[in-house]
C-alpha cells in the first residue's frame, strides 16, 4: 500500500511540476484556449503517455514505450508548428530537426527491443502504480527535452536567422551524426558472433563509454542555442533543456543502468577495468 501511495504521489507531483514549469516558461508566449500554448502542448504530451499506458499495462509490455515517446516528439513538433500563427523559417527548420531525430531514434530503439525480446529497464517496473509513474516520467522527459524548442514554437516574435541559429544547426548535425554512428557501431559489434560476451572499445567507443549519449546532449544543446534569440523573461527557463537531458541520461535512465550492468558482467576483466579507467564516461575528454 505504501508503494502505491508513494508512486501515486510521484505521478501527481510529476504532472503538477510539468504543467507548472510549462506555465512559467510559456506565459509570455502565445495563447490557445486562454492558456499558454506551451501548457497546452505539455498537456498533449502527458495525454499521449496516459493513452499509450493503457494497452501497455494490459499487455504487460514495454514495446510501445520508446516508439510512443518518439511519436510524441513528432506529434508535438507538428502540432506546435501548426498552431503557431507566425510560421517562420526558424520554427520550420526546428520542426524538421525534431522529427528527424525522433523518428530515427524511435525506430532504432523499437528494432533493438524487438530483437532482444524485452527491455531490461522495465524488468521490475510493471505493476500498475510503478508503470504509470514511468509513463508520466516519460512525459516529463519529453517536455523538458523539448522545452527550449517549445519556446520557439510558441514565441510571438521571430527575429531573422543569425549567428546562434547557424551555430545551433551545426551542433545539431554534429550531435545526430555522432549518435547515429555510435549506435550503428555498437549494433554491428553486437551482431558479430565473434564478439559474444565482449564489450565494445573501438570506433567512437574508444573515446567515450557512451558516445551516443554525448551526441544526444550535443544536438539538444544545438537546439537550445537556436532558441536563445527568442528567450525573454521566464522563458529563459527553457535553457535547462540540454542540462536536463544530461542529468536524465547520466543519473536516471541511461549511464547509471548500463554502467551497473557492465560492472556486473566485466568488473573482473582487466581489459575492461583499464578501458573504464582510461575512457571518459560521456564527454570524449577529461573533465577536471
Q: Is residue 286 part of a domain?
A: no
Q: What is the per-residue pLDDT for 68?
A: 93
Q: What is the per-residue pLDDT for 112?
A: 76
Q: Is residue 269 part of a domain?
A: yes
- Domain of residue 130 covers 2-278
Q: Is residue 284 part of a domain?
A: no
C-alpha to C-alpha distance for 108 and 67, rounded to whole angstroms:
9
Q: What is the per-residue pLDDT for 13?
A: 97
- List the chain residues with pLDDT less than 50: none
**Quick check: 166 and 254 in contact, CB under 8 A?**
no
CA distances from 77 to 140, 152, 155, 234 (A): 16, 11, 14, 22
Q: Is residue 285 part of a domain?
A: no
Query: How many domains in the chain?
Result: 1
Q: What angle do CA 76, 172, 170 make, to 5 degrees?
A: 135
Q: Is residue 288 part of a domain?
A: no
Q: What is the per-residue pLDDT for 37?
A: 97
Nine cell digits for residue 223: 537546439
C-alpha to C-alpha distance for 26 and 24, rounded to whole angstroms:
6
Q: What is the per-residue pLDDT for 106?
A: 85
pTM above 0.85, yes or no: yes
Per-residue pLDDT of 62-109, as tens digits, reads 788 888 999 999 999 999 999 988 789 999 999 999 999 999 988 888
Q: Is residue 287 part of a domain?
A: no
Q: Is residue 155 part of a domain?
A: yes
253: buried, middle or exposed (CB in 10 Å: 19+, 13-18, 0-12)?
middle
Return the closest-CA partner of residue 213 out of 187, 248, 185.
Answer: 248
The maximal CA–CA distance of the chain, rounded, in angstroms, is 62
Phi, psi for 35 (deg, rounded to 5): -130, 155
**Quick check: 47 and 20 in contact, CB under 8 A?**
no
Q: Is residue 72 part of a domain?
A: yes
Amino acid at each position: 500500500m505504501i508503494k502505491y501511495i508513494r508512486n501515486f504521489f510521484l505521478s501527481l507531483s510529476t504532472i503538477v511540476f510539468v504543467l507548472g514549469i510549462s506555465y512559467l516558461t510559456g506565459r509570455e508566449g502565445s495563447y490557445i484556449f486562454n492558456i499558454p500554448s506551451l501548457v497546452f502542448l505539455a498537456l498533449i504530451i502527458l495525454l499521449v503517455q496516459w493513452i499509450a499506458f493503457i494497452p501497455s499495462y494490459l499487455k504487460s509490455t514495454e514495446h510501445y514505450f520508446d516508439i510512443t515517446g518518439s511519436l510524441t516528439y513528432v506529434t508535438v513538433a507538428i502540432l506546435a508548428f501548426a498552431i503557431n500563427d507566425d510560421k517562420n523559417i526558424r520554427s520550420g527548420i526546428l520542426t524538421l530537426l525534431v522529427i528527424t531525430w525522433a523518428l530515427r531514434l524511435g525506430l532504432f530503439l523499437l528494432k533493438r527491443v524487438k530483437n532482444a525480446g524485452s527491455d531490461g529497464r522495465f524488468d521490475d517496473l510493471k505493476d500498475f502504480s510503478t508503470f504509470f509513474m514511468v509513463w508520466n516520467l516519460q512525459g516529463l522527459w519529453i517536455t523538458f527535452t523539448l522545452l527550449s524548442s517549445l519556446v520557439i514554437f510558441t514565441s510571438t516574435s521571430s527575429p531573422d536567422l543569425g549567428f546562434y541559429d547557424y551555430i545551433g544547426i551545426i551542433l545539431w548535425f554534429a550531435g545526430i551524426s555522432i549518435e547515429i554512428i555510435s549506435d550503428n557501431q555498437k549494433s554491428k559489434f553486437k551482431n558479430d558472433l565473434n564478439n559474444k560476451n565482449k564489450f565494445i572499445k573501438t570506433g567512437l567507443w574508444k573515446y567515450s563509454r557512451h558516445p551516443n549519449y554525448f551526441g544526444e546532449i550535443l544536438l539538444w544543446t544545438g537546439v537550445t542555442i537556436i532558441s536563445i534569440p527568442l528567450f525573454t523573461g521566464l522563458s529563459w527557463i527553457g535553457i535547462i533543456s540540454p542540462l536536463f537531458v544530461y542529468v536524465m541520461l547520466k543519473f536516471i535512465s541511461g549511464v547509471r543502468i548500463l554502467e551497473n550492468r557492465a560492472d556486473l558482467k566485466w568488473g573482473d576483466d582487466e581489459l575492461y577495468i583499464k578501458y573504464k579507467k582510461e575512457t571518459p564516461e560521456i564527454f570524449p575528454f577529461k573533465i577536471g
